Structure 1
Amino acid sequence: MRFKLRHGSKLQHCETNVMRRITLVSRGARLPFRQLTRQRQALPVYRLQARLTSEISSRPTLVLIGETGSGKTTQVPQFCHQAGLTKTAMVAVTQPRRVAAMSLAQRVADEMACTVGQKVGYAVRFEDCTSTQTKIKYMTDGMLLREAMSDHLLRRYSCVILDEAHERTVHTDVLFGIVKKVQKIRRVKQLPELKIIVMSATMDVDHFSRYFNSAPVIYLQGRQFPVQVYYAKQKQEDPVFASLVSVVQLHQTAPPNQDVLVFLTGQQEIQAMVKNLRDVNKDLTGCCRLRVLPLYANLPVQQQMEVFQPTPPGQRKVIVSTNVAETSVTLPNIKFVVDSGLVKARCYQPGTGLEMLRVQKISQAQAWQRTGRAGRQSAGSCYRVYTRAEFEAMPRDTAPEIQRCSLSSVALQLLTIGVRDVRNFDFLDRPDTKAIDDAMKELQLLGAVSAGEQPELTPVGRRMSAFPLDPKFAKAILASKDHGCTEEVVTIIALLSADVILLTPAAGRQEALAAHQKFVAPEGDMITLLNVFRAYRKVHKNKEWCRENYLHERHLAHAAEIRRQLLQLCAQAQLPVTSSGQSTEPVRRSLAAGLFSCAAHLSRDGHHVTVGTLQKVHIHPSSVLFMSRPACVLFAELVQTSKKYMRSVCMIDPDWLRDAAPEGFHTRRVNLET
């Protein structure tokens, strides 16, 4: 165990040296307080509490590199509390994902012998579990960013801990610049000091230290367990199938109660893997019982928490996850990791103005993070279903999200916070200037900012910023007032914000499609979803009805909660909630007013192209419009696999686009009429 201050080099990964951290427990599996105390006292960071507290008290900014297993995420906020930093304000601890924020809040609340929402609370999108007693607040980075929009100086906080900084989400990158600016303004105005602690298991420490005015770097070593890494002998044509084979082989040879973590790209791949593993398990003899659980960001909270439950004796748990399990949360009893080497990431193309989800290779840094999941509690193994040569060809680090996504939300947030010159904002890594210009142009077309050299936030833009949504969706809600259909538009946006509602299992696919037929709307997927939700409310959210109609009840319940909170925001914005009844034209007009940049028309050769940029796109096979050829459509999402697919499609009239943004489409008349 070491403790040293340095401005040193990057941490290097080693194949056999990976790290361990205290296991998080779910709400239903709390440990006795004495046992929690013993676990805390065994952590490397706990033994150095006095020295760490001294550094935190004496310095405005620290960069803390705490190896996995050091206990930094759960203990450092408590050190801040015990040092008196919460006497008049709170300590904020940001996390990239909601499941991490909620799990960590529960763990720390248990350690502090309180209930979540008292001394320790959390805030995630559409859910706030805090009170006037709260001293330590775990929250997603997006939630702290939203607070900065209403309180530019973050007066509620004495310390902001930016955890998992290496993940470089777009919200985290914006927060780096904001808290740095707030810290400076508070100092100039002689307001209470804002302390900043940047924490990670691994990152480019020199880069972060320079950005935060040569802040000292504290390196804290954790407890290490060896992990053996295995590579595929030859390149795999289907990494997902190779992952399935690896899990089955492990299950047949490894002793019971040695759990497996599998990394895949998204919900569809995960659900297919879960089903296949459950089917395979029925046919295997001489093996222990297999418990297969999915894990991804949009999974309902109750299901997310199931992965933390202890594995029953004589069984094996297999968790099939996206990159949500790479960092932030510790999954107990993981002995084996199976890494597909793939991730689904957002990608923005400034030349076309299109943002899409694309499956791509992970970076070496991500590969090592995944490997480390197998060494948390004992020696483990990682099976990479790619060759060593493929690993060495991977980029060393993951490109920051802010350099590969649309910046319209970022620009709107910065303008709302009071940053007038978005292009010259103090980013840790500056995004492409063209991407910033595209974002400002989109906000101008949406009516959120004024034109000119120094764009100003308009009243419409300020109202849009009140909604925790993409600016396009926020504008659609505001436009619904003029068309008398706010209730329908809010419902559709809530459904699009939740996960997949319509279930089409491989076994029973035809029955599912037949059950869904009663909801299908000729106008497209968005109106179909509206029909589903109306029927769901009519039967009083009956679970059995959902099962009979192949609908995901938990996702519908989640959408209903999002809808409820969006309607509350409408009330706060004094936006009357009216309904257009069975007429869908007002609804589609309102959606076109916000999503006009996500429109495509049918060309003469029979395929769809995006309006203005003329990118060839296709209606996704899951769409109710897949077999039709509508003249003009909106889409909520663009996904690239072998082709560029539009998802959540809705038919519109091309003239509505010109009504929505005449400045953007008067020069595109030829494209709209091709």
Structure 2
Amino acid sequence: MKVYNPRMGMDALQVFPVSRAAADQRAGRAGRTGPGTCYRLFTESAYQNELLPNPVPEIQRTNLGNVVLLLKSLKIENLLDFDFMDPPRRKIFSIQCTSCGCWAPLNNVGSLTEIGWKMVEFPLDPPLAKMLLMGEQLECINEVLTIVSMLSVPSVFFRPKDRAEESDAAREKFFVPESDHLTLLNVYQQWKANQYRGDWCNDHFLHVKGLRKAREVRSQLLDILKSLKIPLTSCGMEWDVVRKAICSAYFHNAARLKGVGEYVNCRNGMPCHLHPSSALYGLGYTPDYVVYHELVLTTKEYMQCVTAVEPHWLAELGPMFFSVKESDTSMLEHKKKQKEEKTAMEEEMENLRKEQAEADKLNEEREREKKAKQQQQVIMVGVRKGPRTYLRPNK
């Protein structure tokens, strides 16, 4: 089963015993169209005592970044009290809500920002949506759009066992030093230059179905950009700007060099390794700082889709996690700056509380006026000749 760990920000393929419901359904497959027998490779006591009644719901073992943004866009303020059918664990859900604020869709008081409202429009994970919107600011949205489309489909490279060396050599021709993301961009641009031909893909050991799917995704995202009136800009061959856009989305997945091909996550110290198929693995040197798309646990914690970044980009784009230590600033000045930031956040929270209280007061006054009007109407209806009758308003 694929299980997401929000603390590590990592997907892991873990081995679980099947649930009783899954075992019963599997047994139901035997004898469906003809006489059959199901042999279970576990004891009856294991079935009764060790297996869960039902499989773990997917909402409790996946990344909920999209869910958080969707609920916020529906004006649901308190997500922890939302009535889920299978609620995720509160602690894990609150971690995911906090991490969602890192990409700037949520402000200090947990409401959607202007970027957040735009991010909701895209059917993408928050980091990929942030990368697109950052591409608009850095005027390289055409290139970022292609990278996001290629990341939304499974790997386009294939490596047949009988022709492994040939396929590796073909793959190396597409490598862009310092970035797997730019390698994907290069693959798509080369395919486009060759009129999207299928035989060209077969010659270069590429999945033509995956590339066609990426082309479809790209056209759909392009339609969304047009609906948001975001113009299509290109940076040409200045791909350092594209690397900066990638860094803006994945600064929480930043890692620094520890040994040969071994990195550690800058935030939680999680060990990360370059995959042998990465463009950075065969590089003459290893960059000091990288960002990665995701971390997958197989035999080791391997980083999928890695890009080398400049350390000052991390401080610029992720100031909530990183800062540049300047030699002329003392510890006292640093603490003073932190205190000012904390005071500004507390003021923002206090202003929100006041606004909320005023809004509640206004609503109460409106309700009171509404009730008074209803009672007045009822009294007017009740006035007749003879004794006065007052009709009670309907509850």
Amino acid at match of 1:523: E
Higher strand proportion (structure 1 or 2): 1
- Computing the radius of gyration from Cα coordinates, the structure with the larger value is 2
- Alpha carbons 1:602, 1:608 under 8 Å: kept: yes
Query: What secondary structure sits across from 1:435 in the alignment?
Result: helix
Question: How far apart are 1:654 and its partner, in Å?
Answer: 2.2
Question: How far apart are 1:504 and its partner, in Å?
Answer: 0.9
Equivalent residues in 2 for 1:58-137, closer than 5 Å: none
Give me the whole-angstrom Cα distance separating, in 2, the residues matched to 1:457 and 1:661: 18
Give me the whole-angstrom Cα distance separating, in 1, the residues matched to 2:167 and 2:57: 40
State the partner residue of 1:428.
Answer: 85
Question: How far apart are 1:442 and its partner, in Å?
Answer: 2.0
Query: What secondary structure sits across from 2:321 in the alignment?
Result: helix
- Alpha carbons 1:348, 1:355 under 8 Å: kept: yes
Say whether 1:496 aligns with 2:151: yes
- Alpha carbons 2:171, 2:204 under 8 Å: kept: yes
State the partner residue of 1:649.
Answer: 306
State the partner residue of 1:21.
Answer: none
Identity of aligned residues (%): 33
- Alpha carbons 1:630, 1:651 under 8 Å: kept: yes
State the partner residue of 1:219.
Answer: none
Query: What secondary structure sits across from 2:281 in the alignment?
Result: coil
State the partner residue of 1:155.
Answer: none
Amino acid at match of 1:583: E
Quick one: which of 17, 25, 28 aligns to 1:369? 25
Give me the whole-angstrom Cα distance separating, in 2, the residues matched to 1:374 and 1:515: 46
Say whether 1:625 aligns with 2:280: yes
Amino acid at match of 1:360: V
Q: Cα deviations across residues 73-100 of structure 1 (Å, max 9, x unaligned)?
A: xxxxxxxxxxxxxxxxxxxxxxxxxxxx
5+ long unaligned stretches in structure 1: 1-343, 670-674
Quick one: which of 496, 499, 506 aligns to 2:161? 506
- Alpha carbons 1:485, 1:579 under 8 Å: kept: yes
State the partner residue of 1:437.
Answer: 94
Question: How far apart are 1:431 and its partner, in Å?
Answer: 1.8
Give the alignment's Cα RMSD to 1 decimal: 2.4
Query: What secondary structure sits across from 2:108 in the alignment?
Result: coil
State the partner residue of 1:360.
Answer: 15
Quick one: which of 621, 633, 640 aligns to 2:297? 640
Question: How far apart are 1:426 and its partner, in Å?
Answer: 0.7
In structure 2, relative to structure 1, the CA distance for the partners of 1:618 and 1:390 (3 Å cut) is farther
In structure 2, relative to structure 1, the CA distance for the partners of 1:627 and 1:430 (3 Å cut) is same
- Alpha carbons 2:267, 2:321 under 8 Å: kept: no
Question: How far apart are 1:372 and its partner, in Å?
Answer: 3.4
Equivalent residues in 2 for 1:222-621, closer than 5 Å: 344-349=1-6, 352-364=7-19, 365-382=21-38, 387-388=42-43, 392=47, 393-452=50-109, 455-603=110-258, 607-621=262-276
- Alpha carbons 2:290, 2:309 under 8 Å: kept: yes
5+ long unaligned stretches in structure 2: 327-395
- Alpha carbons 1:617, 1:645 under 8 Å: kept: yes
Question: How far apart are 1:369 and its partner, in Å?
Answer: 3.1
Give me the whole-angstrom Cα distance separating, in 1, the residues matched to 2:243 and 2:71: 30
In structure 2, relative to structure 1, the CA distance for the partners of 1:605 and 1:533 (3 Å cut) is closer
Query: What secondary structure sits across from 2:320 in the alignment?
Result: helix
In structure 2, relative to structure 1, the CA distance for the partners of 1:518 and 1:424 (3 Å cut) is same
Query: What secondary structure sits across from 1:663 in the alignment?
Result: coil
Query: What secondary structure sits across from 2:77 in the alignment?
Result: coil
Task: Return the TM-score normalized by structure 2.
Answer: 0.75
Give me the whole-angstrom Cα distance separating, in 2, the residues matched to 1:466 and 1:635: 24
- Alpha carbons 2:255, 2:263 under 8 Å: kept: yes
Question: How far apart are 1:537 and its partner, in Å?
Answer: 0.5
Higher helix proportion (structure 1 or 2): 2
Question: How far apart are 1:529 and its partner, in Å?
Answer: 0.9
- Alpha carbons 1:492, 1:527 under 8 Å: kept: yes
In structure 2, relative to structure 1, the CA distance for the partners of 1:660 and 1:397 (3 Å cut) is same
Task: Return the TM-score normalized by structure 1.
Answer: 0.45
- Alpha carbons 1:447, 1:458 under 8 Å: kept: yes
In structure 2, relative to structure 1, the CA distance for the partners of 1:368 and 1:445 (3 Å cut) is same
Query: What secondary structure sits across from 1:662 in the alignment?
Result: coil
Q: Which has the higher contact order (CA 8 A, sep 6+)?
A: 2
- Alpha carbons 1:406, 1:435 under 8 Å: kept: no
